[in-house]
Structure 1
């Protein structure tokens, strides 16, 4: 296969979305995502149910991705898949399928780190966004991760700071649960926050060293605040929902921005790229655009479809690794904990 005519089939199954994508070089031809609705009634992802749903979804999702891309599986150059991090049962489904298909088609297998993929999603060729220039700072913010990463090139990344307890996405979702909002509640907090006063209620910012994050204390303070106020007024949440959501979102974004400012000061790098599901949050996007003018940063915000878990971001890493001849053996196994620079 010529190095300028590469077709990658990518598979993503790290949590509760089953996704398959086809890339021709660095251009996306298809990106199919099957979202699992079953978790909504439980208020969070149930790992066993997630892995079963992946087993049901993976064949039709891959079939649809190939059909939308208008290519046959015999045209594929390699199979890329999420090795980790993520839920072990979910990862096993995607890993096993990718290994089997690569073996059957006699083509290379390429393992991908999910968090590295969130960062490199910026390099998918699309008409709406420009691509970061190395070195840049990446802030990966999702339901399971919060990290600031110094990206020196495609495969040389250094974690400068990360959460010591809960991730930012979990802080959004758990806060929403405290307010009685359905799962996933993060997008609902964003929706109501746009109608509220961000300084209506003050929440404490956690004191944690250097570039690391902590959100467990913030969640606790929100819980105690809501319990205290609803004792005084049982209708407190419904009467103040917009202001509560705006205040929660303001506090979380302030925590993220303060750490980013510190990272820029320490590294001298003023190119900022965000990735992960929480990068779809409108408040974060707006604050980063303002920071561009205020601090002289150059900010890169991915299109919405590349923020949440999707296979196109796995595919771009697959393409970049294929060009370098970085392939995996058939004895590769899923890895629930998988560090970005491992």
Structure 2
């Protein structure tokens, strides 16, 4: 929804604001992280607050929506205060307010949506609702030097607890889905595999716990049992399937001795990660081949989302691209690990081109818990490096 506000934000005011850098206060609560950040158009993250809820959800084996909503309601006021204090700003100093409009858990989205809309209306500030996956895809444009950032068109692999997508990005708002998951996301598969192995979540969640478990150095590699390779589904097809991967783990455990040794568990976890990496690499190569057949030259690949913080998967994808195109290197770009998982800095940045173009949302804008990234409306972008 892109309609005029009941007040007019004049072009003169916009020019005055952008000449000193446009500053955005952003909110994100699409799942189980309560996030608030302040970012400006000069590509500076002035603050980035993330409040985790892992300890609340571990007993449920996953995100419990009503528990998450109540935690967001408790955590958001303090997160706003911290974000403004860290940025050394007063709330009236911000130029625009952004929030995650979708996709995500409806009740969770509503917490930051209501806060952002109420604050924007009361402070007479412009408002922008952001697509969560668009924000992940554009994060390297914030975190990478302009001269080294991704060049359109680029491929973006978005891997998280809720999504597994391979997209062709041709602008800030134009994305074509090349592949998606037929069932579970890669993040959910990591979480289920961690639970099957009986791993504690720790402070970063079950997926991160599995990655850390694979790094176990207390067991000699020679003592690890051989695990048959788990299959990569739908070979030759641009589609993901991760339900079959954690199902392979479940079947293997069910056919094994009733009490698995620690070494056996480590071997299973490592083969699970290997299989996940093989699938990501296989589908990424197919996406590159399909783009080449259409005459689209890809020079950069962006990998983002919570699972992109996994260092093993990162290394495997670097090797994959080096092998695919040894003569004309394809650059692989990752945000810093702390900006791979959900955060509000990426929401602020994804809203920036709309704020600078004077394209705002009405204060009555609705949520989009299900929202295809292919339906984003085009926006005339203002070069951010000129701000």
Give the TM-score of the pair, scaled to structure 2: 0.84
Q: Deviations over 1:65-108 (max 9, x none)?
A: 01100111111111000001111110011100000000011011
Measure how far apart 1:198 and its partner are. Answer: 11
Question: Equivalent residue for 1:223?
Answer: 250
Could you tell me which residue of structure 2 aligns to residue 16 of structure 1?
A: 32
Q: 1:129 to 1:262 in 2, by over 3 A?
A: same
Cα-to-partner distance string for 1:184-243 (whole Å, 9 max, x where unaligned) = 321122122234679743212222673111111222221011011124xx2x24231221
Residue in 2 aligned with 1:131?
149
Q: Which residue is equivalent to 1:289? A: 318
Moved more, 189-198 or 291-300: 189-198
Separation of aligned partners in 1, 2:85 and 2:110: 25
Q: 1:335: Cα distance to partner?
A: 1.6
Per the TM alignment, residue 326 of structure 1 is displaced from its structure 2 partner at its CA by 2.1
> 1:114-162, CA deviations, whole angstroms, 9 ceiling, x for partnerless residues?
0000011111146699421111000000001000010101111111110
Deviations 1:145-185 (A, max 9, x none): 00001010111111111011100001111011111112332
Question: Which of 300, 304, 312 is the equivalent residue of 2:333?
Answer: 300
Matched position secondary structure for 1:124:
helix
Q: What residue ranges of structure 1 are gaps of 5+ in the alignment?
A: none
Question: 1:335 maps to what in 2?
Answer: 368
Report the equivalent of 2:3. none
Match of 2:374, SS state, is: coil
Change (3 A) 1:329 1:256: same
3-state SS, counterpart of residue 230 of structure 1 = coil
Structure 1 counterpart of 2:210: 189
When Rg is computed on C-alpha atoms for both structures, the one with the higher figure is 2
Question: Matches of 1:282 and 1:39 in 2, distance apart?
Answer: 25
Q: Offset of 1:256 from its aligned partner?
A: 0.6
Residue 30 (str. 1) matches residue 30 (str. 2): no
Question: Match for residue 250 of structure 1?
Answer: 274
CA RMSD of aligned residues (A): 1.9
Counterpart for residue 319 of structure 1: 352
| Conserved 8 A contact 1:230-1:237 | no
Number of residue equivalences: 339
Q: 2: distance between equivalents of 1:247 and 1:287?
A: 13
Q: Please tell me whether the aligned partners of residues 92 and 334 of structure 1 are also in contact (alpha carbons under 8 angstroms).
A: yes
Deviations 1:297-319 (A, max 9, x none): 21101101110000000010121
The aligned runs of 1:50-61 (5 Å cut-off) are 50-61=68-79
Please say if residues 39 and 45 of structure 1, whose CA atoms lie closer than 8 Å, have aligned partners that are also in contact: yes
The 5 A counterparts of 1:197-212 are 200-207=227-234, 210-212=237-239
Instruction: Kindly state the Cα deviation for residue 276 of structure 1 after the two structures are TM-superposed.
Output: 0.2
For 2:147 and 2:323, the matched residues in 1 are separated by 21
In 2, the alpha carbon distance for the partners of 1:281 and 1:199 equals 23
- Aligned to 2:373, the other structure's residue is in SS state coil
Give the match for residue 4 of structure 2: none
Cα distance change of structure 1 residues 336 and 204 upon mapping to structure 2, 3 Å threshold? same
